[in-house]
Amino acid sequence: MAEKKLNVILLRHTNNSEELVALAAKLCYSPATIEDLKKKIESQDQVKFIEKLAEMGHHSPLEHAYFTFGVEGISRACSHQLVRHRIASYSQQSQRYVDEHSGKHGGVFDYIIPPSIVKCGLKEKFEKLMEDIQDNYDEFYLAIKKVKVEGEKTAAEDARYVLPNAAETKIIITMNARELIDSFFKLRTCQRAQWEIRAMATEMLKLAFGVAPNLFKNAGPSCLQGPCPEKKMCCGKLKEVRAEFKKLKKEVLASKK
Ligand SMILES: Cc1cc2nc3c(=O)[nH]c(=O)nc-3n(C[C@H](O)[C@H](O)[C@H](O)COP(=O)(O)OP(=O)(O)OC[C@H]3O[C@@H](n4cnc5c(N)ncnc54)[C@H](O)[C@@H]3O)c2cc1C
């Protein structure tokens, strides 16, 4: 137990999501029955239909496609940013019910070290601080256990107040393709987002693109599609960012062959 690294897994996704999105969109403009449409959609060029939706700004059919990710090795600071995205479902490991007493895991609780702290040569100081926090947690945990009515069962819920933003967490996230493309990826794969949530969002994008390349073809920061909306806060790296996401998607496609 101690330093943890990011791990993102695509747990589930809507089967044939591109076909489903195309079917939902086609239904809006056709007098045919759903069974007839289904037959037509199967043999139709779904790619062109999905592209047309994006051009028209008709994004609601994307809401039928769901993606569920398992994420571990992120900090509580990162998960707090994540759960601000409201059009989603979350299940997060609880610090009330999963206690961090060193007697339970035999060491220091898991945590994330920001790369900048390693770069500035303060990694050891940071690790020592985590050990000190663990010692404090244990002290509070044992003391609270004695005074709480339900003792051990509830000591963790108050002892956790001494844990840092760096504490590692695990979370399962479900978002639909519209939320992923129109909000989450636009904001969180952008250079303005913090390094940790950016890395997580980029991994999520790679996984979603891997199973639905036509839906996520243009997904990424806003500047992949047009000018940067960040104005004064613009990173000024439009060309580099576009090249980065082009390369990343090319690599995902190559890995599927
Ligand atoms: C670089 C950066 C810096 C940030 N800094 C701060 C900060 O300093 N302080 C802070 O508090 N937050 C900050 N945030 C978080 C930000 O304000 C949003 O809470 C977060 O990005 C989620 O965005 P959202 O609300 O658009 O997304 P979602 O909650 O995923 O919503 C998606 C879209 O649905 C619509 N929507 C959802 N809920 C409603 C609603 N209730 N009413 C109307 N429309 C709705 C909106 O169109 C919204 O864009 C920051 C985010 C970024 C990317």
Task: Tokens for 112, please give them.
Answer: 């994330």
The length of the chain is 257
pLDDT value at residue 43: 64
Can you tell me whether residue 138 is helix, strand or coil?
A: helix
Distance from the alpha carbon of residue 18 to the mean position of ligand 1, in angstroms: 27
Nearest-5° Cα angle at 253, 249 to 254: 115
Cβ–ligand 1 contact at 194 (below 6 Å): no
Task: Tokens for 40, please give them.
Answer: 């037509």
Cβ–ligand 1 contact at 76 (below 6 Å): no
pLDDT value at residue 3: 82
pLDDT value at residue 49: 82
pLDDT value at residue 152: 64
Inter-residue contact 199 to 220 (CB < 8 Å)? no
pLDDT value at residue 44: 64
Helix intervals (H) in the chain: 17-28, 34-43, 46-56, 76-82, 102-105, 115-119, 123-147, 152-159, 177-179, 185-188, 195-211, 238-256
pLDDT value at residue 1: 54
- pLDDT 10s per residue in the chain (257 long)? 588 899 999 999 999 999 999 999 989 888 999 999 888 887 666 888 888 888 888 999 999 999 999 999 999 999 999 999 999 999 999 999 999 999 888 899 999 999 999 999 999 999 999 999 999 999 999 999 999 777 667 899 999 999 999 999 999 999 999 999 999 999 999 999 999 999 999 999 999 999 999 999 999 999 998 899 998 999 999 999 999 999 999 999 999 88
CA dihedral 213, 181, 189, 5 (to 10 degrees): -70
pTM comes to: 0.95
Distance from the alpha carbon of residue 139 to the mean position of ligand 1, in angstroms: 38
Q: Give the pairing of strands 7-13 and 89-92.
A: unpaired
Q: Whose CA is nearest to atom 2 of ligand 1?
A: 193
Cβ–ligand 1 contact at 85 (below 6 Å): yes
How far apart are alpha carbons 220 and 224 in whole angstroms? Answer: 7
Distance from the alpha carbon of residue 153 to the mean position of ligand 1, in angstroms: 36
Q: Whose CA is nearest to atom 32 of ligand 1?
A: 183
pLDDT value at residue 172: 98
pLDDT value at residue 207: 98
Task: Tell me the fold of 7-92+168-256.
Answer: Gyrase A; domain 2 (3.30.1360)
Q: What is the DSSP letter of 193?
A: S
How far apart are alpha carbons 244 and 195 in whole angstroms? Answer: 15
